[in-house]
Structure 1
Amino acid sequence: MCVLPLWGSSEHVVQTKPSPLTVVVTGASGYIGSAFVRYLLQQGRYVLRLVTHSDPDRTLVGNDVSTYLVKDFCEASQWEEVLRGADIVVHLAGRAHMLKERASESAQQYYQPNVQATAVLGEMALKHGVGRFVFVSSVGVNGNRTPVNAPFRESDNPHPHNAYAHSKLAAEQKLLYLAKSGRMEVVIVRPPLVYGVDAPGNFGLLKRAVLRSWPLPLGAIDNRRSLVALDNLVDFLAICMTHPNAANQTFLVSDGEDISTSGLIREMSRAAGVSCRLLPVPIWMLGVVCVFAGKARTINGLCDNLQVDISKARSMLGWSSLVTPIEGVRRAMLGVRNNEANR
């Protein structure tokens, strides 16, 4: 029998299947996926089936690792071999939110990879007796801004603000419907901006600007934003795979310490050992310039407040972050991955 510890308790959960558990990870060669796989490889407790729709990451190898190339995630037959005998699915694949995207095209572009593919995978996982399905969604399902000190909570009504967030909400709803069968547990995780080595999006843009010592007109921004270090997110996902209290729950996750955009840039500069060049340009002036430059979405993501309450993750799962924001930023700026930091 496979005996797994129950986090936050001295009790144990007894699985009805011989160990180790077989875990299917989609998006295994992606930014979050590759870090998550490395984390699981460190644990040495799982048989891993890595799914990608492009060339696999050749560094993700091990005796209990198999790689599957799935060209069409919406084709049910392509999941037969992948899911046969699997215990857990962690679904990270999908179309990510893009900084440069035509609004008129985005809804259609997101539907197939994020909604339809998730529904097909969920149905096939249920068919093959998968016990738990962990889905990485987005805080965008809750919304894109909060009042100061009024963080999002899992119990809030969804308020998706763009096509990407709408697609994630639709995918969540498909999976929760499948969970009603009582034969497969679903766990939904909604992270905010994920930062780390090789991070895409706004963090990647800021990192390049800081390393080049570019003057940034963001010194007047005094907002509060919840972020999650890549190392913290993969640790949280691993807990969601097996913790009994996670079954059929939705969780917001973050580092647990919020930071302003200007404060983040100062920490990034300090970690990289470069001069911090922040200019106190009034926010209204930034807004006008960015609107005319077609960058309104980017500046909103840097100036607005976006906070999440992670008390549910802490109380139900006994989870606490592995690294502080300061350490997370240091690793991101210096190119230190979790497996390197632990050597």
Structure 2
Amino acid sequence: MVKIASVIGATGYVGSAVVKSLFEHGFDVVRAASRSPANASWLSSLGPEGGVQIMPLTLTNEGGSSLEELGQLMRGSDAAFFCAGFEEQSPSTIDFMVNNALDVIKVAKQENVKSVVLTSSGGSTNPAGLTDSTPKSEVLHFSDPSAQIAAGKISPAAKTLMEIRAFEAVGRDHANKITDAALASSSPRLCIMVPNLILGPQLDPGPIKGNSLPWICKIVKKQRMNESIPNDSMSIIDVRDLASLHVACALNPSASGRYFGVNKSFPWREILNTIAEVHECYVPPPLNEAEDYESKVTTQFDHTRKNSLGVALRDLESTLRDLVEYLKSKNAI
């Protein structure tokens, strides 16, 4: 039987990695959605000849207008992935993320797609008062979207609200408990990936895009973080591992609900010293003598649910080494 998957946001950093990972995990056909299929022809190189079917899809803030295109995209698919992102700090970001995620779930239900995987962000996992020493839990810890909006954190609020509304659409609460048995039984299996900083090579052959890679370039070129090493940590995952976690969610019939897309939280001094190990031209800034680095606790996570997906993750050195080589190949550092 031919295994088919549909990817919305296929030309993006995460979406393109998901396309490639699907073929690595036994899918035969990937329908890759693009607003401009003519500009997405490079996706064909991510799978066998004829494996990538590039299909038109235009998403709007209001949603709804793309239902016919979504139906054509998802018809006959075993799994659908919503990896589209919209990062403007404006209310339209909320409309875009929520409405289009709900459309994907609606059409998946109509087309009998077995599983839907949404890409969210770690900004949805920060309830007030949670300390770094308390392990974060996917089923317990949710941000308050109203507080996020009041603080001007519109993009994180959009992801939080997307998750809450998506759970409601499949008859579950935001902790993945069933609230409507009939709706839950008639809906696709929903999984939500929650990553933080995503690093690793970009598959798009064009210019470096997004937020994370240009930011790392500035750090390596001493345009950012050049006075002293922050006494803080950053939660990181390799984009290739994140893609594998997405696919594992789709393939595992018992997978449901949120999963951290995080390797672990690394102290910045470890991150910057590792960059120096893999890139001979980089010299980390000094430690700040006023800071107590030894006592600083990195953000903790409960990795139980993520580990249940059975994906082996790259270590920090491997991720940063491959990233540096990629950035060098693009003459970015």
The residue that corresponds to 2:217 in the other structure is 207
What runs of 5+ residues in structure 1 fail to find an aligned partner? 1-18, 285-302, 337-343
Is the 2:219–2:226 Cα contact (8 Å) retained in structure 1?
no
Q: Cα distance 1:196–1:283, how it changes in 2: closer, same or farther (>3 A)?
A: farther
How far the C-alpha of 1:218 sits from its partner, in A, is 5.3
How far the C-alpha of 1:155 sits from its partner, in A, is 2.5
Is the 1:148–1:224 Cα contact (8 Å) retained in structure 2?
no
The alignment partner of 2:41 has SS state of coil
Is the 2:275–2:282 Cα contact (8 Å) retained in structure 1?
no
Determine the C-alpha separation between the residues in 2 that align with 1:172 and 1:213.
Answer: 37
The residue that corresponds to 1:112 in the other structure is 95
Is the 1:32–1:230 Cα contact (8 Å) retained in structure 2?
yes
The residue that corresponds to 2:247 in the other structure is 238
Determine the C-alpha separation between the residues in 1 that align with 2:290 and 2:304.
Answer: 32
Equivalent of 2:10, from 21, 25, 28?
28
Determine the C-alpha separation between the residues in 2 that align with 1:216 and 1:279.
Answer: 10
* Matching of residue 309 in structure 1 with residue 292 in structure 2: no
Q: Cα distance 1:204–1:309, how it changes in 2: closer, same or farther (>3 A)?
A: farther
Which residue type is aligned with residue 12 of structure 2? Answer: G
Determine the C-alpha separation between the residues in 2 that align with 1:140 and 1:185.
Answer: 23
Is the 1:215–1:278 Cα contact (8 Å) retained in structure 2?
no
The residue that corresponds to 2:156 in the other structure is 165
The residue that corresponds to 2:31 in the other structure is 49
- Equivalent residues in 2 for 1:1-20 (5 A)? 19-20=1-2
Equivalent of 2:75, from 74, 84, 87?
84
Provide the identity percentage: 17
Q: Cα distance 1:83–1:115, how it changes in 2: closer, same or farther (>3 A)?
A: same
Determine the C-alpha separation between the residues in 2 that align with 1:195 and 1:178.
Answer: 31
Q: Residue deviations 1:130-159, cap 9 Å, x none?
A: 111111111111128963432311122411
Q: Cα distance 1:206–1:120, how it changes in 2: closer, same or farther (>3 A)?
A: same
Q: Residue deviations 1:264-317, cap 9 Å, x none?
A: 122122212213140445789xxxxxxxxxxxxxxxxxx995443222221x33
The residue that corresponds to 1:294 in the other structure is none
Which residue type is aligned with residue 254 of structure 1? Answer: V
Is the 2:199–2:212 Cα contact (8 Å) retained in structure 1?
no
Determine the C-alpha separation between the residues in 1 that align with 2:199 and 2:68.
Answer: 35
- Equivalent residues in 2 for 1:115-134 (5 A)? 115-134=98-117
Determine the C-alpha separation between the residues in 2 that align with 1:50 and 1:203.
Answer: 23
What is the TM-score normalised by the length of structure 2? 0.77
Which residue type is aligned with residue 45 of structure 1? Answer: F
The alignment partner of 2:109 has SS state of helix
How far the C-alpha of 1:90 sits from its partner, in A, is 0.8
Determine the C-alpha separation between the residues in 2 that align with 1:304 and 1:221.
Answer: 13
Q: Cα distance 1:45–1:87, how it changes in 2: closer, same or farther (>3 A)?
A: closer
Determine the C-alpha separation between the residues in 2 that align with 1:215 and 1:168.
Answer: 27
Q: Matched residue pairs, number?
A: 287
* Matching of residue 40 in structure 1 with residue 22 in structure 2: yes
The alignment partner of 2:281 has SS state of coil
Q: Show structure 1 runs of 4+ deviating over 6 A.
A: none
Determine the C-alpha separation between the residues in 2 that align with 1:204 and 1:309.
Answer: 30
Q: Residue deviations 1:89-128, cap 9 Å, x none?
A: 01101313x5xx5xxxx1x121222011111221111111
Q: Residue deviations 1:42-98, cap 9 Å, x none?
A: 3453311101224543222132221112123521222221122222101101313x5
Which residue type is aligned with residue 120 of structure 1? Answer: D
Which residue type is aligned with residue 8 of structure 2? Answer: T
How far the C-alpha of 1:129 sits from its partner, in A, is 1.0
The residue that corresponds to 1:250 in the other structure is 258
Which residue type is aligned with residue 304 of structure 2? Answer: S
How far the C-alpha of 1:33 sits from its partner, in A, is 1.0
How far the C-alpha of 1:245 sits from its partner, in A, is 2.1
Q: Cα distance 1:218–1:130, how it changes in 2: closer, same or farther (>3 A)?
A: farther
Determine the C-alpha separation between the residues in 2 that align with 1:186 and 1:329.
Answer: 31
How far the C-alpha of 1:227 sits from its partner, in A, is 0.9
Determine the C-alpha separation between the residues in 1 that align with 2:254 and 2:323.
Answer: 31
Q: RMSD over aligned Cα, in angstroms?
A: 2.7
